[in-house]
């Protein structure tokens, strides 16, 4: 496991990022339904399985404020690159840089592991997710048809 320095101070609150624990799964699924209802209504079966798998493999980070989980993000390692899974932030805490911090922490873990690239993807209709990647130094490098059901997806990458 790669150590992540976990305390981030913003002017009005402090949040922590840590690895998810098995006992977090109920909170993660609750936050998932709240954060991305248009997606979760169709995909809970896959996401529950993926969430449990990611926690078990220490490939899930959570962000907390006063111990309450307000965000989480997945990753996994494929040969010499990291693949980013979904990232969620509670709608009440958006646009405060928390999603970006969850992304930066995963990039930092990839760097510490000596990986060469970070690859991500997002639904072509998810404009916010696309901008969030661009803002954090990712560039569009591919396109996958029907990755998520009928929706196409952009592939995004960042060199380390
Ligand atoms: C995508 C998500 C994780 C971003 O979290 P966040 O904490 O709000 O993100 P940040 O505050 O770090 O924003 C980073 C950048 O993303 C872009 N962005 C974020 N929210 C945006 C919005 N509502 N409209 C336009 N751009 C937006 C901006 O470029 C922003 O930088 P800026 O605030 O300096 O302009 C969050 O919106 C979310 O949980 N969405 C639902 C789930 C989802 O789509 N996840 C991504 C799947 S790949």
Using an 8 Å Cβ cutoff, are 107 and 119 in contact?
no
Domain that holds residue 115: 7-119
CA of 156 to the centre of ligand 1 (A): 15
Using an 8 Å Cβ cutoff, are 19 and 6 in contact?
no
- pTM value is 0.92
| pLDDT of res. 27 | 97
| pLDDT of res. 2 | 59
CB burial readout 2-32, b (16+ within 10 A) else e: eeeeeebeeeeeebebebbeeebbebbbebb
The count of domains in the chain is 1
Pocket of ligand 1 (CB under 6 A): 35-36, 86-89, 94-100, 122, 126, 128-129, 131-132, 135
pLDDT per residue, tens digit, the chain (160 aa), is: 555 555 555 556 788 999 999 999 999 999 999 988 877 777 778 889 999 999 999 999 999 998 999 999 999 999 999 999 999 999 999 999 999 999 999 999 999 999 999 999 999 999 999 999 999 999 999 999 998 778 899 999 999 9
Residue 76 main-chain phi, psi, to 5 deg: -155, 160
CATH code, 37: 3.40.630.30
Report if residue 16 sits inside a domain: yes
Report if residue 133 sits inside a domain: no
């Amino acid at each position: 496991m790669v150590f992540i320095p976990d305390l981030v101070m913003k002017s009005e609150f402090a949040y922590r990022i840590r690895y998810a624990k098995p006992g977090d799964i109920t909170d993660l699924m609750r936050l998932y339904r709240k954060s991305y209802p248009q997606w979760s209504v169709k995909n809970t079966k896959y996401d529950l399985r993926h969430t449990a798998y990611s926690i078990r493999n220490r490939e899930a980070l959570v962000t907390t404020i006063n111990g309450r989980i307000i965000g989480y993000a997945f990753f996994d390692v494929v040969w010499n690159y990291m693949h980013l899974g979904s990232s969620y932030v509670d709608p009440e805490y958006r646009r405060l840089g928390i999603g970006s911090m969850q992304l930066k922490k995963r990039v930092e873990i990839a760097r510490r592991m000596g990986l060469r690239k970070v690859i991500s993807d997002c639904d072509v209709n998810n404009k916010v997710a696309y901008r969030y990647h661009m803002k954090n130094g990712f560039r569009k490098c591919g396109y996958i048809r029907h990755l998520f059901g009928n929706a196409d997806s952009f592939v995004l990458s960042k060199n380390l």
